[in-house]
Amino acid sequence: MPTPADGQHVAERLEELYRRRLLVGEEGVASYYLSGRGYYEPELAAEESDRFSICIVRAQGDAYRTGDHDRPFALQSISKVFIYGLALADHGRDHVSWP
């Protein structure tokens, strides 16, 4: 059985992951979303196209974050992952499909 990682190790690995993912190019970004404005193209995004953050919260409640974690952002498509998980928990795999 693996032993739980200490906080320093988690923080170091998170920072490493963040630095590696900073290299992702703009071709991975299709559009942005702003409440009241809707979706808009990357060329209209200005500085927010450079924002990126990762946050991990362990079961014990310890939070580790790096990057632009203190800046507001829209959940956009990532919210689908959480809704899918809730649907699976409530209804089971036999009754939930993924597009």
Quick: pLDDT tens for 19-31.
Answer: 887 766 555 555 5
Question: CB–CB of 66/54 below 8 Å?
Answer: yes
Reported pTM: 0.53
- What DSSP letter does each residue of 26-59 carry, written as one string? GGG---EEETTTEEE-GGG-GGGGG--EEEEE-T
More confident position, 13 or 24: 13
Question: CB–CB of 43/37 below 8 Å?
Answer: no
Across the range 78-91, mean pLDDT stands at: 88
And the tokens for 94?
């036999």
Measured CA to CA, the distance from residue 79 to residue 75 in angstroms comes to 6
